[in-house]
Amino acid sequence: MPTTAVAWAGYAGLAVLIVGWLAVSFSRPSPRREIVEWVAACGLYLALLSLFVSLCMRAQASGSTPALVAFGFLVALFGSGLVVSLVQMLLALRTPGRIPRASATH
């Protein structure tokens, strides 16, 4: 089975998640840590999104409509989560520590 761009994106998201998780675990709360939290959250959503996109493509290839609907719903759910995390990350980059916001770890 050849490695696709979706798989590479999933592996990259997983790597970002692991590195971010370790960085957040061993650092004190700060504006920089908040940015790392949101980057790690983006990695989580990217990994999950790529998993379900892969399963959705597999369901489409096999012609399974119920699986395609279920995985399509999860693609929409985790895709919107990725968008929200990206926006929150950009807000954390733009205004570090000035405005109290929800944290990615709460």
Instruction: Say what the pLDDT of residue 46 is.
Output: 96
Rounded to an integer, what distance in angstroms lies between the CA atom of residue 29 and that of residue 72?
37
Rounded to an integer, what distance in angstroms lies between the CA atom of residue 24 and that of residue 92?
15
pLDDT tens, residue order, the chain (106 aa): 456 899 999 999 999 999 999 999 999 988 889 999 999 999 999 999 999 999 999 999 999 999 999 999 999 999 999 999 999 999 988 876 555 566 666 5
Instruction: Say what the pLDDT of residue 51 is.
Output: 95
Looking from the CA of 45 toward its CB, the CA atoms found within 13 Å total: 21
DSSP state for residue 95 in the 8-state scheme = S
Domain borders along the chain are 5-94
